[in-house]
Amino acid sequence: MTQSSSSSLPLSFEFFPPKTPEGADKLTAVRQQLYPLGPEYCSVTYGAGGTTQDGTLQTVRAILAEGFDAAPHFSCIGATRASVREQLQQFQAEGIRRIVALRGDLPSGYGGFGEFRYASELVAFIREETGRHFHIEVAAYPEMHPQARNPQADLQAYVAKVQAGADVALTQYFFNSDAYFRFVDEAAKAGADIPVVPGIMPITNSSQLMRFSDACGAEIPRWIRTRLEGFGDDKASIQAFGLEVIVDLCDQLRCAGVPGLHFYTMNQSGPVKAICEQLGL
Ligand code: FAD
């Protein structure tokens, strides 16, 4: 890997679409607090099955209007080729040039897979329909996607997304940098050598982190878990410890020359700002 200098390390910020007018106002303020860090772009998550799709587009429009590049996440589970085509045309008409292309997860009780089974099929379809118009980001799982048969099969699924035309990968968050480095090496050996940008989850709330990590298959190392448990409800200690852990992780990744950092902001500016300040970014 090549070394990046701290000041040139590209940053991106992920938001979720707010559900209420108050949430929208709060997110507008959060973005204004984060923009001085100079993100390359901001991405906005997308709920499979229609839960947040309008909100995704509204938030993307707001970011573009504020003068920053924005990428909607777009998941294909439950979708038809016709509905994806229509959505891509809308994105193009709105001046969107980046997409985070995902399979997604269906909310429980929601119907079948639709006409796309895997994200690689979505990436191939986007390229078929729109050529090189979109810069396509895909998901990568250094600790394996929780539904994968085994790490080798998951790596092959990742390689298929790259071969279908992905430009960049964003990883699921992790706390063990070796898993990331190994994934990047193995992917490159398998012929998938696009940039793999680590996804960074600030640690601010232990019960929420444990819940998310169980659901998405991200491992919380025992030494982190036991300390978080030991802090109980002491938020200040959790946040101070979380900041130290994540700054160390980012520093290690930066020293190894990662192509950027993608922050899962959880629609909060404070933790990301604190991490970037400590890193001198
Ligand atoms: P895929 O790459 O299709 O993989 C899904 C599973 O299928 C994996 O287990 C893979 O190993 C397997 N697989 C793939 N191809 C094959 C094949 N040919 N044969 C056999 N098995 C195969 N979810 C949302 O709903 N909205 C979001 O906005 C969102 N944003 C995300 C952003 C990032 C950066 C990440 C890392 C995840 C995000 N997710 C989001 C979660 C994601 O949708 C889920 O993890 C989902 O279960 C998988 O999506 P994928 O695009 O990785 O799917």
Q: What is the position in ligand 1's atom list of the atom closest to the CA of 141?
A: 36
Does ligand 1 come within 6 angstroms of the Cβ of 11? no
The residue behind tokens 């709060």 is 26
The pLDDT tens digits along the chain (281 residues) read: 433 444 589 999 999 999 999 999 999 999 999 999 999 999 999 985 555 688 999 999 999 999 999 999 999 998 999 999 999 999 999 999 999 999 998 776 666 778 999 999 999 999 999 999 999 999 999 999 999 999 999 999 999 999 999 999 999 999 999 999 999 999 999 999 999 999 999 999 999 999 999 999 999 999 999 999 999 999 999 999 999 999 999 999 999 999 999 999 999 999 999 999 999 99
182: left (phi over 0), alpha (psi -120 to 50) or beta: alpha
One-letter amino acid at 174 equals F
Q: What is the C-alpha separation between 180 and 170, in angstroms, rounded?
A: 11
Q: Indicate which residue's Cα is closest to atom 42 of ligand 1.
A: 104
Whether 141 contacts 150, CB under 8 Å: no
- Contact (CB, 8 A) for 195 and 260: yes
Ramachandran region, residue 217 (left: φ > 0; alpha: ψ -120 to 50; beta: rest): left
Q: What are the C-alpha distances in Å from 6 to residues 74, 142, 257, 265?
A: 31, 24, 10, 20
State residue 138's pLDDT score: 98
User: For ligand 1, is residue 118 a contact (CB within 6 Å)?
Assistant: yes
Please check whether residue 54 is in contact with residue 25, taking contact to mean a CB–CB distance below 8 angstroms: no
Per-residue tokens: 6: 């701290």
Cβ distance 181 to 140 under 8 Å?
no
Ligand 1 atom closest to the Cα of residue 74 is 28
Cα(241) to ligand 1 centroid in Å equals 30
- Residue 137 in tokens: 């980001």
Q: Is 104 in the pocket of ligand 1 (CB under 6 A)?
A: yes
The structure's pTM equals 0.96
| Separation between Cα atoms, residue 189 and residue 175, nearest integer Å | 23
Contacting residues for 254 by C-beta, under 8 A, at least 6 apart: 4, 6, 9, 261, 279
Instruction: Write down the residue that tokens 């679409």 correspond to.
Output: 17
What is the rounded CA–CA span in Å between residue 239 and residue 267? 16
- E strand or H helix that includes residue 262: strand 261-264
Give CATH for domain 10-278: 3.20.20.220
At 208 the pLDDT is: 92
Cα 48 to ligand 1 centroid, rounded to whole Å:
11
- Residue 137 annotated among the catalytic residues of the structure: no
From the CA of 211, how far away is ligand 1's center (Å)? 18
Q: Give SS3 for 170.
A: strand
Q: Give the per-residue pLDDT at 6.
A: 47
Domain boundaries in the chain? 10-278
Provide the Cα torsion 7, 170, 238, 20; round to 10°.
Answer: 100
Residue 268 CA neighbour count, 13 Å, CB half? 11
43 C-beta closer than 6 A to ligand 1: no
Say what the pLDDT of residue 111 is: 66
Name the percent of the chain in helix, strand, coil, to the closest 5. Answer: 50, 15, 35
Using the mean position of ligand 1's atoms as its centre, give its distance from the Cα of residue 102 in Å.
6
DSSP type of residue 109: T
